[in-house]
Structure 1
């Protein structure tokens, strides 16, 4: 009888052992397996996962290895901007004069002064001209001066790739610029090509806003193969259309211009002419508005806490660069990227973070000289969660799987039908050989986590890497020990 009880107990122990042997794999072990994926062979990955409430590290892999972050750098730029400039900060664009008005004549010069607003559209410049006309002005006897001196004359960031120059995401930065749309792709024009039904016939071309500031070399025709493309020749505003577009098809492309201040000049002169206002003097680019000039009309942007939504959801580079230079102007009276980077570094120090552990050279992440680790970004995400403006910033981040474009943003097509859908608020980043995903999510135990994953130097296309990022996010949302 004693032997039977002993045998029963032994079987029970074996049963428990069997149950333990089929227990679920822990999340850290799953993450180890994911980072061993062949798609990452020869690549470098930095991954950090932390608990928001305690700050404790739950998982790390090369946490302090500095890598190119691509657009994950916008997390740092926008967080600093909310602190340095403030959630209620608004960009301003002013129409001024140092002369006097006598009837319909305005003696002296007319100044259009840009203070960095990347959200102005042609309709806003038309509204400024209409404000001037409403004051009875029909003739300007002096010069028309376009003042873009609030920012420096460095139009491109450090080490931006030359083959990005004609793209909307590589557009030039100016304190006086114009966007063709409500996405605020400043410094660009929308070029629409439409192929006629007849094969071999030239495509028709339309530019918006309508301007003669660009010239078009149209060698694109109606045909098969879908080889249509458009580029801007370096150092010019010559747009070159080539290839074939299927009969009856239409293609819209966003193309940056060379010297956006001059595009503004072209469009604003149109706006003045529409109001019947004639300028007798010269067009002057880059002049400075006198300190004693009177403001005749003004346009103010939406507050920063609203502007960060299109910036972060759509990963807008020109808006990011404008914020960086605006921070430089605010803190050091210098509208330069260098002064902006110094302002960001000062923000980090105020949060107890060490700016010496990373390298930042622009605001958008377009340069490959930016170097950041997942530890840096997790530190930032934890610090940001303590700020009074956090909710506005958090809600501006793309939300995984949410189909609404201005809610899901760059994550709207990802992680649908998973535990991360409408859970993960994060920022994507992508360049050739670079992919990143960082943000916040809530796990199965109800904990809010921050995580950052940066991958560099993979040779395959980005799709397998993004799939890995998504599997990491799902593993985190389903966290178990």
Structure 2
């Protein structure tokens, strides 16, 4: 039996298997039997797995194992967030950051307040803030007689997601969320800075440290030295921006590490004040944090992000959490005038409902999948993959998914080094997901007969190394790609 015959035999078998506990089984020469065997791998012993495979054209179920069991999806949740964003916000949606004033120009003076208003752009960088200051200077402004107000009220003040783990707090993927933020790189890891440490050749000498974007908003306690042992590390103390560097780094070596900041709006304030000073613009009033821009203000300068259909490329390829959280809150603002994660989750549910999905089977509390309160099944994920394939924006979304075995970083993404030399290479387009005890892989591929398939595999509560579970995922993807041989 080959995979192409599942339509005749698989439906009855999977229906029976669901009644018997969700594990289809047929002749040991069939693809369903191969999948059964793969799911009996010792790496999955004691774990819970939800796996579903469907025909992408008809939606027919070809294989299922615990298809309705809701599990923690990790970054597979980004499939829901980004698909909903493409629908709710639209593929041409752009984030904006605005420089506003309620004052009047008098020569080179601005008589009122100056407002820097963030509308949630997770891709804005220090150079963009410098460009905003340059635009103001090009209008002849050299003095602001009022206050400099940093308006991050487009989103709420909840900086972290629901039930995010405390040990993720200082990581770039656990960075705080703000409507006024800054990314240190073109991966758009907003809310973080890049710390570069270099060990001098002289053993025992302190390592040299540079922070980008350049700022004095963070303080250093540098006890790291050049020497043997490779024990160098960085820690940021909770509630502060004190970076503690310790351990040893081999002479001549260099380390670059992203570290999240406490209160990214404050970091933006520090950087923008630098940018104004570089342009020779003086602010005579106070720095005001979190003040809302009043009605009737004039837009003096504006920066816009790339359109959403371009932003989802680094988001999905690199599994960017900061961008995902910004999209969720932007959807909340768009649909309910509330820049909160909960309003965003309602917007996602609305999209799913419009596609005919059962929203009662989904629990979503953030945009990225970092929370363990998120719950979804392989049934729901394959429903989403099928629904997305019928949308006008599907090609852009599909192309943003990581491609198995493709070494180009912005093509292969998180799958770039997986499945090389297999039938899944440059075939599988899928989203990965990883947390302690959680692994996921969901997407699209083509079998040996040219038939398009969608599948979703979620694994929770494994105690082996995540790489062992991903090996099973890889074998599942290869089995599906080769089915019909």
Normalising to structure 2: TM-score of the pair? 0.94
- Cα distance, 1:221 vs structure 2: 1.0
Q: Does 1:130 align with 2:134?
A: yes
Kept after mapping to 1: 8 A contact 2:365/2:371: yes
Among 233, 239, 243, the alignment partner of 2:237 is: 233
**Cα deviations across residues 76-104 of structure 1 (Å, max 9, x unaligned)?**
00000000000000001000000000000
Among 250, 261, 264, the alignment partner of 2:265 is: 261
Residue in structure 2 matched with residue 165 of structure 1 by the alignment: 169
Among 430, 435, 454, the alignment partner of 1:431 is: 435
Residue in structure 2 matched with residue 410 of structure 1 by the alignment: 414
Residue in structure 2 matched with residue 442 of structure 1 by the alignment: 446
**Cα deviations across residues 424-451 of structure 1 (Å, max 9, x unaligned)?**
0000000001100000000001110000
State how far apart, in whole Å, the 2-side matches of 1:68 and 1:222 are. 42
Q: Name which of structure 1's ranges 24-33 and 115-124 shifts more when overlaid on structure 2.
A: 24-33
What does 1:455-474 correspond to in 2, within 5 Å?
455-474=459-478
State how far apart, in whole Å, the 1-side matches of 2:427 and 2:203 are. 49
Q: Give SS of 1:276's match.
A: coil
State how far apart, in whole Å, the 1-side matches of 2:258 and 2:296 are. 39
Taking only aligned residues, the RMSD between alpha carbons, in angstroms, comes to: 0.9
Residue in structure 1 matched with residue 364 of structure 2 by the alignment: 360
State how far apart, in whole Å, the 2-side matches of 1:226 and 1:56 are. 53
Larger-gyration structure (1/2): 1
Residue in structure 1 matched with residue 102 of structure 2 by the alignment: 98
Residue in structure 2 matched with residue 222 of structure 1 by the alignment: 226
Residue in structure 2 matched with residue 344 of structure 1 by the alignment: 348
Kept after mapping to 2: 8 A contact 1:192/1:206: yes
- Cα distance, 1:460 vs structure 2: 1.1
State how far apart, in whole Å, the 1-side matches of 2:273 and 2:69 are. 51
Kept after mapping to 2: 8 A contact 1:92/1:301: yes
Residue in structure 1 matched with residue 250 of structure 2 by the alignment: 246
- Cα distance, 1:357 vs structure 2: 0.4
Kept after mapping to 1: 8 A contact 2:158/2:177: yes
Kept after mapping to 1: 8 A contact 2:173/2:322: yes
Kept after mapping to 2: 8 A contact 1:361/1:369: yes
- Cα distance, 1:480 vs structure 2: 2.9
Q: Does 1:120 align with 2:128?
A: no
Residue in structure 2 matched with residue 109 of structure 1 by the alignment: 113
Q: Give SS of 1:295's match.
A: strand
State how far apart, in whole Å, the 2-side matches of 1:185 and 1:144 are. 26
- Cα distance, 1:24 vs structure 2: 7.7
State how far apart, in whole Å, the 2-side matches of 1:310 and 1:252 are. 20
Kept after mapping to 2: 8 A contact 1:26/1:480: no
- Cα distance, 1:25 vs structure 2: 1.4
State how far apart, in whole Å, the 2-side matches of 1:211 and 1:414 are. 38
State how far apart, in whole Å, the 1-side matches of 2:408 and 2:448 are. 25
Kept after mapping to 1: 8 A contact 2:28/2:34: no
State how far apart, in whole Å, the 2-side matches of 1:106 and 1:269 are. 16
**Cα deviations across residues 313-332 of structure 1 (Å, max 9, x unaligned)?**
00000000000000000000
Moved over 4 A (4+): none
Q: Does 1:147 align with 2:134?
A: no
State how far apart, in whole Å, the 1-side matches of 2:69 and 2:57 are. 25
Q: Give SS of 2:251's match.
A: coil
Residue in structure 1 matched with residue 377 of structure 2 by the alignment: 373
Equivalent residues, number: 459
**Shift in alpha-carbon separation, 1:24–1:369, aligned structure 2, 3 A:** closer
Unaligned runs of 5+ in 1: 1-22
Among 320, 326, 332, the alignment partner of 1:328 is: 332
State how far apart, in whole Å, the 2-side matches of 1:358 and 1:227 are. 43
Among 36, 39, 49, the alignment partner of 1:35 is: 39
Residue in structure 1 matched with residue 211 of structure 2 by the alignment: 207
State how far apart, in whole Å, the 2-side matches of 1:39 and 1:244 are. 36
Q: Give SS of 2:116's match.
A: strand
Residue in structure 2 matched with residue 287 of structure 1 by the alignment: 291
What does 1:383-402 correspond to in 2, within 5 Å?
383-402=387-406
Q: Give SS of 2:256's match.
A: strand
- Cα distance, 1:374 vs structure 2: 0.6
Kept after mapping to 2: 8 A contact 1:96/1:297: yes
Residue in structure 1 matched with residue 14 of structure 2 by the alignment: none
Kept after mapping to 1: 8 A contact 2:120/2:326: yes
Q: Give SS of 1:325's match.
A: helix
Q: Give SS of 1:149's match.
A: coil
Q: Does 1:422 align with 2:426?
A: yes
**Cα deviations across residues 394-422 of structure 1 (Å, max 9, x unaligned)?**
00000000000000000000000000000
**Shift in alpha-carbon separation, 1:24–1:454, aligned structure 2, 3 A:** closer
State how far apart, in whole Å, the 2-side matches of 1:130 and 1:158 are. 39
